[in-house]
Amino acid sequence: MASKNSFGARRTLQVGAKAYEIYRLDAVVGEGTDVASLPYALKILLENLLRTENDGDVTADDIRALAAWDPGARPDREIAFTPARVILQDFTGVPAVVDLAAMREAMSSLGGDPALINPLAPVELVIDHSVIVDVFGKPDAFESNVEIEYQRNRERYQFLRWGQDAFNDFKVVPPDTGIVHQVNLEHLARVVFTREENGATVAYPDTCVGTDSHTPMVNGLGVVAWGVGGIEAEAAMLGQPVSMLIPQVLGFKLTGKLPEGSTATDLVLTITEMLRRHRVVGKFVEFYGPGVSAVPLANRATIGNMSPEYGSTISIFPIDDETLRYLELTGRSSEQIDLVQAYAKAQGLWHDPQAEPRYSEVLELDLSTVVPSIAGPKRPQDRVPLVQAKEAFHGALATFIHKPEQKQQGYDNAVAESFPASDPPAYKSSTVHSPSPSDHVAEAPAGGDRSRDPVPVTLADGSGCEIDHGSVVIAAITSCTNTSNPTVMLAAALLAKKAVEKGLTRKPWVKTSLAPGSRVVTDYYERAGLTRYLEALGFNLVGYGCTTCIGNSGPLIPEVSEAVREHDLSVVSVLSGNRNFEGRIHPEVKMNYLMSPPLVVAYALAGTMDIDLFHEPLGKGRDGRDVFLKDVWPSASEVQAVVDTSIVSEMFKTGYADVFAGDERWKSLPTPHGDLFAWDAASTYVRKPPYFENMSRKPLPLADITGARVLALLGDSVTTDHISPAGSIAKNSPAAAYLLSHGVEQHDFNSYGSRRGNHEVMIRGTFANVRLRNQLAPGTEGGYTRDFTKRDAPVTTIFDASRSYIAAGTPLVILAGKEYGSGSSRDWAAKGTLLLGVHAVIAESYERIHRSNLLGMGVMPLQFPEGENARSLGLTGEETFDIAGITALDEGRTPATVKVKAGDVEFDAIVRIETPSEADYYRHGGIMQYVLRNLLR
């Protein structure tokens, strides 16, 4: 739909022989407006509103409000942002495609054309979250891991293959091609997007939302993009806007340049520490100043990638000559590059090193002050200068082995450090092990030295070694953060070359792996002749995808694993990733350190964190002499020389020429064809969801809620980590019982993430978090409640109780405290709530995205009156609830409040429907039903 264009902003931009229609930002003038001095990112949002103005979701007043942005104001103005495209990874992408497939079937049942159900915005899905490091350190590691991956995920992959063929504007990058964010950076991102509209070509900024929190990686290219939950992504796929508050913007001024010896990883860990301390959650961060031009594009992407680690929505760099150089290097067409340059300059989006845009606040960093660093042992913001690494390790180790009774549960740590649009790590009993009196615990030292507990280990080949607290048992070059950066990747390979030439080897207890973000990495390793040196140290290719950083590290070396568990050793992983909290990387590894790829190699050589890399040797060379880090560390000029000779544009053009086609294994998958998916009743991975059962062509009149029961009475700060199924499937859970009844053995349970396409598994995992405390079932912890359909209301699982209520025709409500739904924004927190039979949630306050997601699934979000809550109103959760006034929505108006009667208690609950679109979604029973009915007309 064309914009109303109230400001007369639509103009023509000539680029060579091609004319483009654009929406000029400088057309927005008026009292209080100063578009020229707006931050770069807000100019992108302003163009978005100009182009999508429709007098409904986007009004002229919204445009004026953004143009007159007050940097110091607290965010309170909601706007509707329409991204140019959507990007998915396979864990979060499968349920989105399941929903589209179910919509097609519903369309057919209602007499419509199922082929009408297609993404209305371009969607690209990259399969990258399913490869696990089962095999390492061998020439066939890659092939072996891929074969195992296909065996585990065949059903999911066949389904995605069908979707790739069945849907328009939906493309799939097959497994073992790369990490979603690196593929996005190197190939999918356009920077300036185009579309045909009424015979003209409209040009506008490339923007996207993605179902992974590290989507901001393309912020390094000047692309406004961030991670969202699945329901928001589905809304965008279906052409619906994403609701957001006009944010505050922090300006981050850069000056100087990185010194010799400091890497992009050191820079990003420094920035992470600074911004996490400053508190930028929910804000935009924007880099500006004279130092920006000294930051290579790969380093910018590394910084953008870590946005969720310090909490900002985005961390963006403006467009400049460096952007154009990178686009050329990665094989973008000359026409596209010319358009990017012309558009950025015409719209005031081109970087001016001397400009001082208006910002809510400003931080500054002199790049010359950045020193080599690591972060850990359990949070990405806990930066440690490398020179202090040994001392810091000693201090951290004491908290892991001397005071076991004070250790926090690993899973609780993970939930506390969760990030938007990502899963917390798997919960496993070994991550929460507290030693009993009979457990072996090392004695605390009398002096200042650290505890030692050396354990002899006999490896499979008969050789012997000793491991101890602090032994490095995993060394992984992995994660989109660093594998997109040729400088640090080649530095790692050059360090390996020097180490091998001096006769060093990795320590035998270290599990090593190389999982690049794209095939371009292994191409330039081959071209530079460096692959063999990495392989000589055990850094063989294990796969192209997210591995160790998301917990797909695979098993430790068996004999090492046995020693770690038997002696409760506090061992270490080192990885070039972005997340390291306890329990995430591996359930048996308590201490995890983030660092640059060359340092990962160095610590694999040392085999321990208990080393001062500046003064102690990594090992002895073949000549018997000590070899120090300085002896093998490549200089910046050495690295740059290899970059200049080994990386050429042709690599990217060839590597991405047929990126959606896949290899023979992908092409040969037996795949159903046709507009409708042939659901397999025996599948435990992909099942037809029930959202459209008995759906009518027109929405039925709304009804007030009567006779409802409380499923859960919850306190403050209940997060979507507590609500949404995530991690491994506990053997005594309702989900496990379902899988066992369908012939799935426990060793094949896989995770909730891998089974997101099966609603039966996911319903059973909703509100089943082991740390959930339902006040309706005091004395319990986990997914338990009381079932008031039975005599004496016995305690049972939330899932089993919900089945009883649904069978009895009893609607359900959730009562909650402040900040309900905070934390990561996950689709199944809302989907599971609906499918458990919940009609309304009444909370003291909501996290904005979860509130919106509830409406997107047809669940009413209500709020207690100001200053009131369940306790102050005397609610116990045993009452029967009636909610009156909902039917006003059928009259085309959204009531401010509705009447709630709970036993003898009555109050007016605030209706948290904020936009006309949200009211439409609720009237139709959810966003998918709303879109489906609109397409039926």
For residues 466 and 563, what is the distance between their CA atoms, to the nearest angstrom? 10
| Span 667-726, pLDDT tens digits | 999 988 999 999 999 999 999 999 999 999 999 999 999 999 999 999 998 988 889 988
- The answer to whether residue 450 scores a pLDDT higher than 80 is no
C-alpha 297 chain-centroid distance? 22
Work out whether the CA dihedral 378, 379, 382, 385 comes out positive or negative: positive
Please tell me the chain's helix, strand, coil percentages from 3-state DSSP, rounded to the nearest 5.
35, 20, 45
Largest CA distance in the chain: 87
Cα 928 to its chain centre, rounded Å, is: 23
How sure is the predictor about 257, in pLDDT bands with cuts at 50, 70 and 90?
very high
Kindly state the DSSP code that residue 295 receives in the 8-state scheme: S
Range scoring the smallest mean pLDDT among 35-44, 344-353, 547-556: 547-556
Q: Which SS3 state, helix, strand or coil, does residue 261 take? A: coil
pLDDT at 448: 45
- Both structure tokens of 89: 């990874």
Per the model's pLDDT, the better-predicted residue between 824 and 293 turns out to be 293
Angle 799-802-805 from CA coordinates, rounded to 5°: 160
Answer for the pair 666, 147: CB distance below 8 angstroms, yes or no. no
Provide the pLDDT confidence category of residue 417 given band limits of 50, 70 and 90. Answer: low
- Residue 15 CB: number of other CB atoms within 10 A? 17
Q: pLDDT tens digit string along 873-901?
A: 999 999 999 999 999 999 989 999 999 99
Cβ(704)–Cβ(882) under 8 Å? Answer: yes
| pLDDT score recorded for residue 438 | 30
Picking from 620, 629, 700, 706, the residue whose alpha carbon sits closest to that of residue 902 is: 706
* Token representation of residue 499: 């180490």
CB within 8 Å of 937: residues ≥ 6 apart: none
Structure confidence by residue, pLDDT tens digits, 490-510 = 999 999 999 999 999 999 999
DSSP assignment letter at 382:
-
Is it the case that residue 424 has pLDDT exceeding 60? Answer: no
Token digits for 868? 């009131």
Are residues 607 and 506 in contact, defined by beta-carbon separation less than 8 angstroms? Answer: yes
What is the reported pLDDT for 587?
86
Dist CA 688 CA 547 (whole Å) = 29
In this prediction, residue 783 carries a pLDDT of 93
Residue 309: both structure tokens together: 């680690």
Give the pLDDT score at 825.
64
If you count them, how many residues does the chain have? 937
* Residue 886 to residue 891: CA distance in whole angstroms: 10
CB atoms within 10 A of CB 619: 17
The overall average pLDDT reported for the chain is: 92
Identify the H or E element spanning 103: helix 90-109
Q: Which helix (H) or strand (E) holds 933?
A: helix 927-936
Q: How many CB atoms lie within 10 A of CB 625?
A: 12
pLDDT at residue number 230: 86
DSSP code, position 746? G
Residue 847 has pLDDT above 90, yes or no: no
Alpha helices by DSSP H, 135-200: 141-166, 180-183
Query: For residue 906, what is the DSSP state?
Result: E
The pTM is what?
0.91
Q: Decide if pLDDT at 431 tops 50.
A: no
Residue 480 has pLDDT above 60, yes or no: yes
Q: Which amino acid is at 827?
A: D
* SS3 sequence of 192-250: EEEEEECCEEEEEECEEEECCCCHHHHHHHCCEEEECCHHHHHHHHCCCCEEEECCCEE
CA atoms within 13 Å, Cβ hemisphere of 910: 14
Averaged pLDDT, 775-795 = 95
What phi, psi does 512 have (nearest 5°)?
-105, 150
| Tokens at 262, concatenated | 């400091």
Tokens of 832: 């599971």
DSSP string, 813-870: EEE--TTBTBSS--HHHHHHHHHTTEEEEEES-B-HHHHHHHHHTTPEEEEPPTT--T
- The token pair that represents 157 in the structure block: 């992959």
In a 3-state reduction of DSSP, which class is residue 474? Answer: strand
Which pLDDT score is estimated for 375?
Answer: 96
Name the more confident of 842 and 583: 842
Minimum mean pLDDT among 239-243, 317-321, 785-789: which range?
239-243
13 against 91, higher pLDDT: 13
**Whole-number pLDDT of residue 528:** 98
Alpha-carbon dihedral sign for residues 107, 111, 112, 113: positive
Report the distance separating Cα 887 and Cα 860, nearest Å: 12
Tens digits of per-residue pLDDT, 57-106?
899 999 999 999 999 999 989 899 999 999 999 988 899 999 999 999 99
Can you give the pLDDT at residue 443?
Answer: 39
CB–CB of 586/513 below 8 Å? no
Does the structure show a pLDDT above 80 at 111?
yes
pLDDT digits 0-9 by tens, 736-759: 999 999 999 998 888 888 899 999
Distance CA 860, CA 214 (A): 30
Percentage of the chain surpassing pLDDT 70?
Answer: 95
Q: How confident is the model over 530-549, as a mean pLDDT?
A: 96
Helices (H), 361-485: 389-401, 410-416, 480-483
CB atoms within 10 A of CB 165: 12
Taking Cα atoms as reference points, which of 513, 510, 437, 506 lies closest to residue 477?
513
Backbone angles phi, psi at 148, to 5 degrees: -65, -40
d(CA 724, CA 69): 36
Q: Is the pLDDT of residue 442 over 60?
A: no
> Given this model, what pLDDT does residue 441 score?
34
